[in-house]
Amino acid sequence: MRTVDLIHRKRDGEELDSPEISYLIDAYTRGEIPDYQMSAFLMAVYFSGMTDREVSTLTECMIRSGETVDLSSVNGVKVDKHSTGGVGDKTSLVVAPLAAAAGVIVPMISGRALGHTGGTLDKLESIPGFRTDLTVEQFHAQLSEIGLCFIGQSERVAPADGKLYALRDVTATVESIPLIASSIMSKKMAEGLDALVLDVKVGSGAFIKKQVDARRLAQMMVGIGRRMDKRVQALITDMNQPLGYAVGNALEVMEVSQTLMNQGPPDLTRLCLELAARMIFLAKITPTLEDARHVAENKLVDGSGYRKFKQVIQAQGGNAQALDKFELLPNATGMREITSPRAGYVSAIGAEDIGRASTLMGAGRDRKDDRIDPAVGVILEVKMGEKVDAGSVLCRLYYTSEEHVEEASEMVEDAFRVSQQKAEERELILEVVG
Ligand code: URA
């Protein structure tokens, strides 16, 4: 088989068969296909797409490129939740404890912040002492004991994805639906799950900007799961404004704490309850989704989700008191208010600009090995549709160094639009697939 022939055929929109896709992935993972040829192949996929059969084969080959996690020794139905990435998206930290409190086994394998979107591991590590580098034995033991464990992805799981993702990042081929679907599903299906709930974000702060593309991505991932005999459901949710009010690691942990005490922002609470309910339903803890919604709500209202999160923090070496005493979390040293230049209605809060401003102040990273500052970020004072006066505070920037504050402030000012007309309210949960 010649790599150039496969690139040629994909470029011309042909379907590749299983041995051809296996050859490409196996040889690339072993270092036998050079980056320049794989880059050309990825670009051919970007423009020509892939059939469902091709995407399933690609995903299977990526899973086979590394180890798979065996959770058969842990009793119970294992369900994870994965988001395609957003700004202020701290749902995992609320959803996982709620689902675990209801009896779901949640092996949550999460990622770090990259670009303008945040990462669950960075948020957790802003809690003093919290460790995510557990051994496989510790992971299994904690899942059996508490039903929830947060860890990072091992380099040994789906290594083909690690290599391909790094190449996509520098060849403008990240935003390809078949490549995103196979990347996410290869990692998730290698985790030993029984079911998966996906949150596919769409809008200015997401990788996917159009709902039609989000639907295609969701359908593709649900299809991959189904062909592997796993129960997968996807929610398509709006990411045109940050989720909740807080953007930035420790700031988001504070909002998670408030949300688990049932005092969180309405949009975040609503989405978390729906995601948790879907996990509870897929775990077959309740016979209907409606029953699962009641269970999720009870776990929030009676505080058991909150207690579960504290239990997990303690088990992973963190100081659980930080959830009640925010002064124990990393705190910023400086604060700047951004005010409205005019009276009117907030008609846009560009999530990507807010995410970029937060990253610029140190909350995120542009490169994998950049260090982050857990204390910094942005807290919105308003959400879309709210009425403001001239001079009303729109948001506050929290920082520890003056270096990028001017630039970040300009970005945040540009993110807000205040109009005379009240814009139509947007739905948060746009569609369910699967
Ligand atoms: N998240 C992933 O894991 N992979 C992608 O390709 C995009 C988002």
Do 356 and 312 share a structural domain?
no
Q: What is the pTM of this model?
A: 0.93
According to the model, what pLDDT value does residue 273 have?
98
User: What is the Cα gyration radius of the chain?
Assistant: 22
Do 158 and 282 share a structural domain?
yes
Do 236 and 334 share a structural domain?
no
Sign of CA dihedral 412, 417, 422, 426: negative
The count of other CB atoms within 10 Å of the CB of residue 33 is 19
Sign of CA dihedral 251, 257, 258, 262: positive
Q: Identify any residues that bridge with 201 across adjacent strands, giving them in sequence order.
A: 237
Give the domain extent around 9.
3-49
Q: Identify whether 71 is part of a domain.
A: no
Q: Identify whether 62 is part of a domain.
A: no
Nearest protein CA to atom 6 of ligand 1, as residue: 180
Do 225 and 136 share a structural domain?
yes
Rounded to whole angstroms, the maximal C-alpha distance in the chain is: 67
Nearest protein CA to atom 7 of ligand 1, as residue: 180
Tokens of 112: 């770090």
CATH number at residue 267: 3.40.1030.10
Whether 85 lines ligand 1, by a CB cut-off of 6 Å, is: yes
Tokens of 248: 């930035």
Q: Identify whether 272 is part of a domain.
A: yes
Alpha helices (H) in 228-288, listed in sequence order:
249-260, 266-282
According to the model, what pLDDT value does residue 136 have?
86
pLDDT at 212 exceeding the cut of 80: yes
Q: How many domains does the chain have?
A: 3
pLDDT at 368 exceeding the cut of 70: no
Whether 223 lines ligand 1, by a CB cut-off of 6 Å, is: no
The fraction of the chain above a pLDDT of 90, given in percent, is 83
Nearest protein CA to atom 8 of ligand 1, as residue: 84
Whether 184 lines ligand 1, by a CB cut-off of 6 Å, is: yes
Mean pLDDT, residues 209-224:
96
Q: Edge-to-edge strands of the sheet including 387-388?
A: 387-388, 344-349, 416-419
Please choose from 165, 176, 179, 201 the residue to mutate so as to test ligand 1's pocket, defined by most ligand atoms within 8 A of CB: 165
CATH number at residue 24: 1.20.970.10
Distance from C-alpha of 114 to C-alpha of 165, rounded to nearest angstrom: 12
CATH number at residue 337: 3.90.1170.30
Do 184 and 123 share a structural domain?
yes
Nearest protein CA to atom 5 of ligand 1, as residue: 180
Atom number of ligand 1 nearest to Cα 168? 6
Q: Identify whether 317 is part of a domain.
A: yes
Sign of CA dihedral 147, 152, 155, 157: positive
The dihedral over CA atoms of 18, 2, 37, 48, expressed in degrees to the nearest 10, equals: -50
pLDDT at 73 exceeding the cut of 70: yes
Of 323, 355, 378, which residue is a domain's last? 323
Cα within 13 Å of Cα(255), Cβ side? 27
Whether 162 lines ligand 1, by a CB cut-off of 6 Å, is: no
Q: Identify whether 396 is part of a domain.
A: yes
Give CB contacts under 8 A, 24+ apart, made by 281-284: 282/77, 282/79, 282/194, 282/195, 282/196, 282/197, 282/231, 282/233, 283/76, 283/77, 283/79, 283/99, 283/103, 283/104, 283/105, 283/194, 283/195, 284/77
Do 392 and 312 share a structural domain?
no
Please choose from 62, 184, 199 the residue to mutate so as to test ligand 1's pocket, defined by most ligand atoms within 8 A of CB: 184
Tokens of 299: 């776990």
Q: Identify whether 55 is part of a domain.
A: no
According to the model, what pLDDT value does residue 100 have?
98
**Can you say how many angstroms the Cα of residue 124 is from the centroid of all Cα atoms in its chain?**
13
pLDDT range class, residue 166, cuts 50, 70, 90: confident
Do 275 and 206 share a structural domain?
yes
Distance from C-alpha of 329 to C-alpha of 2, rounded to nearest angstrom: 55
The tokens 């996509």 sit on which residue? 168
Do 365 and 269 share a structural domain?
no
Nearest protein CA to atom 2 of ligand 1, as residue: 184
Question: Residue 146 Cα, ligand 1 centroid: separation in angstroms?
Answer: 29
Of 323, 355, 386, which residue is a domain's last? 323
pLDDT at 377 exceeding the cut of 80: yes
According to the model, what pLDDT value does residue 114 have?
65
pLDDT in tens, 351-364: 999 999 999 999 98
According to the model, what pLDDT value does residue 85 have?
86
Q: Identify whether 74 is part of a domain.
A: no
List residues with catalytic annotation.
82, 161, 168, 183, 187
Do 302 and 190 share a structural domain?
yes
According to the model, what pLDDT value does residue 185 have?
94
According to the model, what pLDDT value does residue 28 have?
96
Do 360 and 244 share a structural domain?
no
Please choose from 81, 180, 187, 368 the residue to mutate so as to test ligand 1's pocket, defined by most ligand atoms within 8 A of CB: 180
Do 279 and 233 share a structural domain?
yes
Mean pLDDT, residues 62-89:
93
Kindly list the distances between the CA atom of residue 368 and the CA atoms of 114, 115, 169, 246, 278, in Å, as whole numbers in the listed order. Answer: 7, 9, 11, 23, 32
Whether 84 lines ligand 1, by a CB cut-off of 6 Å, is: yes
Kindly list the distances between the CA atom of residue 371 and the CA atoms of 5, 54, 113, 134, in Å, as whole numbers in the listed order. Answer: 42, 38, 11, 21
Alpha helices (H) in 147-265, listed in sequence order:
159-169, 177-189, 211-227, 249-260
CB 191, CB 227: distance < 8 Å: no
Question: Residue 183 Cα, ligand 1 centroid: separation in angstroms?
Answer: 6
CB 42, CB 5: distance < 8 Å: no
Do 337 and 216 share a structural domain?
no
pLDDT at 270 exceeding the cut of 80: yes
pLDDT in tens, 316-363: 999 999 999 999 999 999 999 999 999 999 999 999 999 999 999 999
Whether 241 lines ligand 1, by a CB cut-off of 6 Å, is: no
pLDDT at 94 exceeding the cut of 80: yes
pLDDT at 278 exceeding the cut of 90: yes
Distance from C-alpha of 129 to C-alpha of 331, rounded to nearest angstrom: 15
Whether 183 lines ligand 1, by a CB cut-off of 6 Å, is: yes
According to the model, what pLDDT value does residue 238 have?
96
Q: What is the mean pLDDT of the chain?
A: 94
Distance from C-alpha of 267 to C-alpha of 245, rounded to nearest angstrom: 10
According to the model, what pLDDT value does residue 428 have?
96
The tokens 């990259």 sit on which residue? 114
CB 274, CB 235: distance < 8 Å: yes
Q: Identify whether 430 is part of a domain.
A: no
Written as one letter, the residue type at 404 is H
According to the model, what pLDDT value does residue 241 have?
95
pLDDT in tens, 99-150: 999 999 999 988 777 667 778 999 999 999 999 988 888 999 999 999 999 9
Strands 79-83 and 195-202: parallel
CB 378, CB 253: distance < 8 Å: no
